[in-house]
Amino acid sequence: MKRPTPALGATSFEDAREGDGWRTLAEDVLDGLTRPFKELPPKYAYDSRGSALFDRICELPEYYPTRTERSILERAAGELIAATGASELVELGSGSATKTRLLLDAMAAADTLQRFVAVDVTERAVRESAAELTREYPGLQVHGLIGDFERHLDRLPPATGPRLLAFLGGTIGNFAPASRQRFLGTIAGLLSDRDHLLLGTDLVKDRATLEAAYDDSDGISAEFNRNILLVINRELGANFDPAGFQHVARFDAENERMDIRLRAREAQEVVLPAIDLTVRFAAGEELRTEISSKFTRERVAAELSAAGLALAAWHTDENDWFALSLARPASV
């Protein structure tokens, strides 16, 4: 006998990378490795191995940001959602969407929850979290946008109601200052008067705590850092020897950011056939793989304001280690 279909929320996907994923990696690597101070963008580190390593980092005792942000959300989600009246949550870099549930729960409790839009470069993360969330929240609409939030935000579907755009984890800290300001401006341009931004930022703190978070005793952070070399080997047919590079994670106090690098243990030459490039590293030469900026309330408020946004609420933990900022378009 045929049973009536239960009311299921609809799921849809869009792959915004089609056709351009490879070219972007190739262009960025070519650009980064031909500079006098070599640099690679951190976003390519998140292939399936890199994502799994990052998930392990989040569980490390030294890596406080994830659990601290979660604790803030556990306490403040209800208040945040009440302040926004949001019916849809858009999450940039949603990953495995663990913190997402705290917001969705608060929206469900407020009886406003309609849709979740996940944006992430990791296709598997988008598809799996969409499937799980559809099961966990009956009636929820889920849209998965597989793509790079730096390039594909024009592919976001139109809002179905007041929208909360969440950019969590402190990922904004990975942007260089100028692109960070540009990105905040792009986000501001996406928000209507009834929408809000929820921004997670790691905060300035003592050097020892910061450096341990990016150089744990199990060596997972080091392994994660070297993973970018494996990605480049696979995608560009290169021959990086990950063991030939040492993980370096330093707090740059002047710029208030972690500066994460790979230091060549000895002189070496690396061939990248797909981009027709041979790069030489001197012994001890450092390749920057990531910056992770640390913020103060004043800086967050100032940068939001410069982007046309106003800080509406600031939530932090008892140690002031991490902050969640709620912002909305500044009234003109």
State the residues that interact with ligand AVJ by CB under 6 A.
57, 65, 169-171, 173-174, 214, 221, 224, 290, 292
Nearer to ligand AVJ, 195 or 223 (CB): 223
Q: How far is 137 from 114, CA to CA, in rounded Å?
A: 10
Amino acid 324 reads: L
The enclosing H or E element of 89 equals strand 88-92
| Residue 35: CB minimum distance to ligand AVJ, A | 21
Nearest to 168 by CA among 82, 21, 58, 12: 58
CB-based closest residue to ligand AVJ:
292
Nearer to ligand AVJ, 88 or 223 (CB): 223
Nearer to ligand AVJ, 204 or 275 (CB): 204
Q: How far is 220 from 148, CA to CA, in rounded Å?
A: 25
| Residue 65: CB minimum distance to ligand AVJ, A | 6
Q: What is the DSSP letter of 243?
A: G
| Residue 58: CB minimum distance to ligand AVJ, A | 8
Nearer to ligand AVJ, 113 or 258 (CB): 258
Amino acid 313 reads: A
Nearer to ligand AVJ, 94 or 292 (CB): 292
| Residue 237: CB minimum distance to ligand AVJ, A | 26
Total residue length of the chain: 332
Q: How far is 256 from 291, CA to CA, in rounded Å?
A: 10
What do you get for the CA distance between the two ends of the chain, in Å? Answer: 61
| Residue 263: CB minimum distance to ligand AVJ, A | 16
Are 84 and 107 in contact by the 8 Å Cβ rule? The answer is: no
| Residue 267: CB minimum distance to ligand AVJ, A | 27
| Residue 72: CB minimum distance to ligand AVJ, A | 15
Nearer to ligand AVJ, 30 or 230 (CB): 230
Q: What is the DSSP letter of 244?
A: G
What distance lies between CA 134 and its chain's CA centroid?
Answer: 22
Tokens of 16: 């915004």
Q: How far is 177 from 66, CA to CA, in rounded Å?
A: 22
Convert 288-306 to b/e letters by CB count within 10 Å (16 or more is b).
bbbbbbbbeeeebbebbee
Nearer to ligand AVJ, 147 or 169 (CB): 169
Nearer to ligand AVJ, 105 or 202 (CB): 202
| Residue 269: CB minimum distance to ligand AVJ, A | 27
